[in-house]
Amino acid sequence: MSSAAAVTVLGSLHYDITVQGPALPRKGETVTGQSWRPKLGGKGRNQAAAAARAGAHTAMVGVVGGDQFGRELLADLDARGVDRRFVRIAGGAGSGMSVAIFDAEGDYGAVIVSGANLDLSDADVAAAQALWPQTAVLVLQNEVPDAANLAAAAAVRSAGGKVILNAAPARAMPGSLALLVDVLVVNAIEAAQLCGRAEPRSLEEAQAAAARLAQDFPAVIVTAGGAGVALADRSRRMSLPAVPVHVESTHGAGDEFVGWLAANLAGGATIDAALGAANAAAARLVGTPEHLRD
């Protein structure tokens, strides 16, 4: 496969186990579930899959373990046409994995074991140097070490590309990384954590949170679930209502949004047009039952 990559995702790969139950268990409680199944994930893998699904030439930089989970994750990237030449196999660590429990309404809670993802470093960024001049949009998340994110962001910005940071899960951000981010994407909970304010409960409150964060980033997108999505930069604000859909499962909606956003921006769309395409893609995923998703 050519080294050209319109979208490069540097991030996590997890082998997920999903469990369907009547409700999320409380502390100390055991509930009886209806079914379980494996599902490949990790925010990095999900966003790369979404960008490829949106039509972008996509590459992935990450780390998996030398185990069965790792082999299945690599095969999945191959099947999706994602360039995974720079996904390293770490022999001394197990692949990342998670367990997600879904309730009857489609909401979920999850536990993640990062495993080999924590071995991703600036050395992996250096090994993937052929990608950076061909990367129009780099996508980062917070499921891998900051040092790797920082090195990749610096390499892509130096080559003239743009950087999207999906700051999930929310954590303190090095100032040197914040200076390299073109678009920050967070959900309502993450926006609240980064702002030090109450969680936005409406699209108007999400818009206000985006505007506060836009004091520190060129553009900020706050996804607010069923309320919609808000965008702010240093000169304007805009928002889109959520696309009406029967909710089958919210799992992965944020990653679908980010992947489609990156693919559209890499293809030359304006941020407004990319926002609309990403909003629609997330709605389609939410309306699709888990067992029918590819």
**16, 119, 255, 294: the active-site residue:** 255
Distance CA 67, CA 144 (A): 19
pTM of the model: 0.91
* Catalytic site includes residue 255: yes
Cα 98 to Cα 136: distance, rounded to the nearest angstrom:
30
**Residue 144 backbone phi and psi in degrees, to 5:** -135, 165
Burial letters for 83-98: b for 16+ Cβ neighbours within 10 Å, e otherwise?
bbebbbebeebbbbbb
| pLDDT 10s digits, 87-138 | 999 988 899 998 989 898 878 888 889 999 999 999 999 999 999 999 999 9
Q: What is the pLDDT of residues 11-28, one digit of tens each?
A: 999 999 989 999 999 999
| b/e sequence 182-214, b meaning 16+ C-beta within 10 Å | bbbbbbbebbbbbbeeebbeebebbbbbbbbbb
| Domain boundary assignment for the chain | 7-181+243-292
Q: Domain spanning 7-181+243-292 has what CATH number?
A: 3.40.1190.20
